[in-house]
Amino acid sequence: MKNQITYKNFSREKTIDHFQDHQDIIKQYNINSVIEFGVGEGTNVFLKNCTGKITSVELLTTDYPLAELLKISTDEWVNYSINEFKKYDNWNAVKYEVQSSILDAEYDVTGKGNKGVIRGNSPSSMDYIQELTNLINTLNISEYDMAFVDPGIHLRGDIVNLLFDKVNIITAHDFNIQPIYGYNRINIPPTYEGYSGNHSMEGLGVFIKKTINKE
């Protein structure tokens, strides 16, 4: 049976976006290392609050017209970020150029394809799951205390599903925009609790393994 997210809140005053929620989680659960899908200004919250390994995975295309059509990332942003964050010895970037199965799924979920999928609906083929799985299997996810899902593609709910039971805490940004990011496809296993962050304007989904303790 598909488990639905149980919405609970971290009791903190509202601030802008996901910074405060992540600071709270890092402190409460003694987070030292993070892998994030999607690099950006938010990376700073991990670099400033964690001393362990921080890895930023950017899923991208080098086809600029296609990136503009589908509103997905190119290599420009990650290359800019590499220049910005290279001063941190504990940070590294992984660049992954998405292949046809993910691109086909992106055509579908954005309503730009020719298979009759309405924007925000699920992809017509599940082939992209194997591509995402193959990528995630190269990343040694279990080495990290937390994973943050905020990539420059729209298949975020599927990434969350693939991270369950590989890492103790998973957070996912733009959670208030459920359909386009596939968050309605999330299946929470019985080993996790689902929460809603209290500060993010765009919404932060938080999934915490039941067996871990707060500091």
Identify the band that residue 210 occupies on the pLDDT scale cut at 50, 70 and 90.
very high
Lowest mean pLDDT of 34-38, 40-44, 97-101, name the range.
40-44
Decide: 102 and 110 in contact? Cβ < 8 Å. no
CATH class of 20-97+140-209: alpha beta
Compute the average pLDDT of residues 63-77: 94
Domain spans in the chain, listed from the N-terminal domain onward:
20-97+140-209
Identify the band that residue 215 occupies on the pLDDT scale cut at 50, 70 and 90.
low
Look at residue 15 in the predicted model and tell me its pLDDT.
36
Angle, CA 127 vertex, CA 124 and CA 133 arms, to 5°: 135
CA gap 185, 59 in Å, rounded? 20
* Per-residue pLDDT reduced to its tens digit, 101-129: 999 999 999 999 888 788 889 999 999 99
* Per-residue pLDDT reduced to its tens digit, 126-175: 999 999 999 999 999 999 999 999 999 999 999 999 999 999 999 999 98
> Which of these, 130, 40, 165, 18, lies nearest to 93 by C-alpha position?
40
Look at residue 178 in the predicted model and tell me its pLDDT.
73
Is residue 12 scored above 80 in pLDDT?
no
Q: What's the CA dihedral at 22, 208, 188, 160 to 10 degrees?
A: 40
* Per-residue pLDDT reduced to its tens digit, 171-191: 999 988 778 999 999 999 999
